[in-house]
Structure 1
């Protein structure tokens, strides 16, 4: 029945999706608009020249000039993306907009990567616009921005749409990373769970956050703050460590020193980059090449380990899949690096993201499947272990568990009390009322013993009608009080169920005495003797009555 409900639910979701697709094509609105929606356009006709000045950070200033056409009554916007460039915008000789790094900035000399939006009104029609861009890094020299002009909302929507594919891939990477983290945390106490999945999750989050914060759209949404520019670089600094800690578990030589050399190398690059940034010697962008070198070293190590694994285990299906995924990542990564250095960081790069995402999902799913398989084996092993060390009827520890516990090297008999119990007339109950009632008698006795001693000691069913409790670091006075409580519970039970076979529990207890006991077995035998003495008294008293 449950399977039918699941199938119907999935079919229902799919049906609703198809119905919505039908609605999208079937519904049309009739729109009347008196004023034309001007949208936006790209300004491509402008004069560009470069001015050299020694006082400038890179010794040059790039100037773009164009004339505004006739503007409509509605406000129009000039928007462009500056990449580590100081910005000054003039209408004629009047400064209307500027963007510069604050003089009090402790970190860096760059205003970062951001969108600049300058509004224009109808009275600005025909004005001469001059845009002065001053690069603060050599890599920003010669970077030509795209100038958008028109409706600010339309420009926003166009930029966000252009970034939608890499944003979606990046969000999938972050969500996949969170899924791996939650799966590992939820099953953390399970010894069969691959804890390295947590590192895979962190790697996936690092990669996703790097790409999200590196997009133009992110600068558009979180604008006017230079700190935004540091997020992608900070996301990349430690990205190698979680990847190495995850991927090394897939190889036979998982504890090879080269893995840890990569991790400590990454720490060194991070500390050096932050130190140079804090000292004002070099910004994180200028030291990014060190992180790229670190990544190149990681790729070489992984390729080397793949080769070694091939020599050890042969060209198996798992190795083929790993090699294919790594190859896809390498192609994407190399493509992005080439684009990065050729475009001086202005091009949109998502080939590597696609490769990494594929790699993350395939290896992550592979690890989860292996983990689930191990968990099934572990659950089966625990079930067998429980059967070996627990009594099947009562759920208490059995004689084997008692022998293992008292025979372990860690077990110390000092200050340890053995309490022995016997269910009187169990055989008589079985013979006269049947084994079902006999089992109920055993369960009632078990419950009373657990309620009396379960919170301070370990309870064992030694066999048949005999039970034992081990008390460690409990006084004889406390033990005596618990025995008294047990007698009260027996009496309460028999009064509550007068028509059932009466429960009678004989009890004896002794504490380990190093003067008289060779080992704890002698203590148990003395407690057993005391219990049988009480059993004899109980039976004698019942017979005389």
Structure 2
């Protein structure tokens, strides 16, 4: 009972910790994005004065630097799936052209920082697309102090990086919680599904931030991970909501899961076989995500139409609505903005998974509390309030249970002279008498088996066959303790107990009750023998 209360308290504290983490995260985001005093050199966008299309499909951008002095030390622009070469007066001053070989034809995405000085009048930036699909991407060029531009980009992206990392940390927390609490609480798979979905989305989201692009060196690896994470996020997303909302759309769910698996295998195989790489198949990845979201949205709408306004449905309605808005905005931004287009989605995902996990853990709390109350009622129903031993109800349940009887021992005891004690010294003394006998009986036999108070002054202990006991020694020990209690207890009455025992014998006992009856007969023989002494 105490353990249940401690567990309930732990879950409540865990909910509070989740809330604190979210608040701290918002505070950190705010503190790290406050306006700071800027350098005198302002970062400004610069437009190429000419663009030329080369024979191999590359584009050459000509940029005039003649009006910028020595304070401007860097030309910065973002490229995705494009090789970069920069020339000044016919000399190469910068390049980003290394591809992934086996891992892919793309050099990945990168913020290119090109060092410039006041002697440079013109630079030519040549961009060669890895795929035709990105050939129309036009970069935005910025000029200013290199360190200042880097700091501004990093500072602007830090809140999104923190939100993304929180999603990853949160998913790992769910895994840890499931590992440590599953055996104790028999948790469902909902937390695991939510953990996997959060992990894949968090890793994808982290990889897509400007901050990660600035600090990560392995651009080839980072160009592959987002697509893999997006494809892997679909199955746990569908499985979680199917379980959480009780959708049970078995056929549709299986179709989506199989389609997702086929898509993952096909798209990945095509990428490494150089048939069509991940970026070229992005539309199919986005389509699969759209189908999965549509499945969940459709289920929510159906439940609302059936007037199911449960807590789960309300949370999903709010969360999915925010998620859909963010997804639409971010998809539009992806095709319009160069760089980190996921400006809103990661915040909505973080809020959404926090809400879902909070509700799951809250539901677990409620189950724990209900279980604790049920156990209390069960204990009250099966326990004798005076002695703390199991009562007659528990004994009858044991008698009716289907179990192996070979080798079990029944020990019975009966308090002598209880009626005389009640008549002479009152019922309080009689209750004390019963309690004393129960304590001694349980102290001797309870370590080997289960003790019951089967009647007013009658007790029974069932010792399983797995326990090796010397019954004669235990009976002598029991009677010795009764004698000691009489000698040292200074009670008004004299404690007397008759005891008997029997081991199950298939030739003598047809069932459990027959065994107990033989133990009773042994006890009555002991009672008669004690009276004749």
Q: TM-score range by the shorter chain?
A: 0.7 to 0.9
Spell out the pairing of 1:136-285 with structure 2 (5 A cutoff).
136-171=130-165, 173-174=167-168, 177=171, 188-189=182-183, 195-251=189-245, 253-254=247-248, 256-285=250-279
SS of the counterpart of 1:281?
A: coil
Q: Which residue of 1 aligns with 2:343?
A: 350
How far apart in 1 are the matches of 2:292 and 2:53? 43
Aligned residue in 1 for 2:77: 80
Moved more, 261-270 or 181-190: 181-190
Q: How does 1:381-530 map to 2 (within 5 A)?
A: 381-409=374-402, 411-423=403-415, 445-446=437-438, 448-474=440-466, 478-479=470-471, 483=475, 498-499=489-490, 506-530=498-522
Match of 1:42 in 2: 44
CA deviation after TM superposition for structure 1 residue 288, in Å? 3.0
Partner in structure 1 of residue 58 of structure 2: 60
State the alpha-carbon separation in 1 of the partners of residues 343 and 150 from structure 2. 20
Q: Which residue of 2 aligns with 1:8?
A: none
Q: Could you tell me how far apart the structure 1 residues matched to 2:323 and 2:443 are?
A: 61
- What is the CA deviation profile of residues 382-433 of structure 1, one whole-angstrom value per residue up to 9, with x for unaligned ones? 2212212223344433322232233233x12123222223455556666677
* Contact 1:115–1:223 (Cα < 8 Å) also in 2: no
Of 124-133 and 153-162, more deviation after overlay is shown by: 124-133
Gaps of 5+ in 1: 1-12, 25-30
What's the CA shift for 1:141? 1.6
Question: Does the 8 Å contact 1:426/1:438 carry over to 2?
Answer: yes
Query: 1:456-509 deviations in whole A, cap 9, x for unaligned?
Result: 4333332333332323333665555655665676677778x5546887664432
> What root-mean-square deviation, in Å, do the aligned CA atoms of Structure 1 and Structure 2 show?
4.0
CA pair 469-118 structure 1, distance change in 2 beyond 3 A: farther
Work out the CA distance in 2 between the residues paired with 1:92 and 1:446. Answer: 103
Q: Residue deviations 1:164-212, cap 9 Å, x none?
A: 4433543554455556556656653566966524433443343333222
Q: Tell me how far apart the structure 2 counterparts of residues 52 and 93 of structure 1 sit (CA, whole Å).
A: 16
Q: 1:252 to 1:347 in 2, by over 3 A?
A: closer
Q: What do the CA deviations read for 1:347-384 (whole angstroms, capped 9, x no partner)?
A: 52233334444444444444444444444333322221
Q: Structure 1 residues 137 and 291 mapped into 2: Cα distance closer, same or farther (>3 Å)?
A: same
2:9 is matched with none
User: 2: distance between equivalents of 1:260 and 1:332?
Assistant: 27
Cα distance change of structure 1 residues 526 and 170 upon mapping to structure 2, 3 Å threshold: same
Structure 1 pair 435–320 and aligned structure 2 pair: CA distance change class (3 A): same
What is the CA distance between 1:102 and its match in structure 2? Answer: 5.0
Contact 1:192 1:375 in 2 (8 A): no
Distance in 2 separating the partners of 1:156 and 1:350: 19
Report the counterpart of residue 112 of structure 2 in structure 1.
116
Q: Supply the distance in 1 between the matched residues of 2:88 and 2:254 (Cα, whole angstroms).
A: 58
Structure 1 contact 506–534 (Cα < 8 Å) conserved: yes
Once residues 212 and 150 of structure 1 are traced to their aligned partners in structure 2, the CA distance between those partners, rounded to angstroms, is 27
Q: Between the two structures, name the one with larger relative contact order (CA 8 Å, sep ≥ 6).
A: 2
Q: Shift in Å at residue 520 of structure 1?
A: 1.3
Task: Please give the alpha-carbon distance, in whole angstroms, between the structure 1 residues aligned to 2:456 and 2:486.
Answer: 21
- The alignment partner of 1:412 has SS state of coil
- Asked if the contact 1:42/1:146 (under 8 Å) is kept, the reply is no
Cα displacement string for residues 312-353 of structure 1 (whole angstroms, at most 9, x for unaligned residues): 44678875664444333222222222222344x635223333
What is the count of residue pairs matched by the alignment? 500
Q: Is the 8 A contact 1:396 1:461 kept in 2?
A: yes
SS of the residue aligned with 1:80?
Answer: strand
Shift of 1:215: 0.9
Query: Separation in 1 of the partners of 2:424 and 2:52?
Result: 110
Q: 1:97 is matched with which residue: 94, 97, 110?
A: 94
1:44 CA displacement: 0.4
**Which residue does 2:369 correspond to in 1?**
376
**Structure 1 CA distance, aligned partners of 2:60 and 2:423?**
105
TM-score, normalised to structure 2, is: 0.78
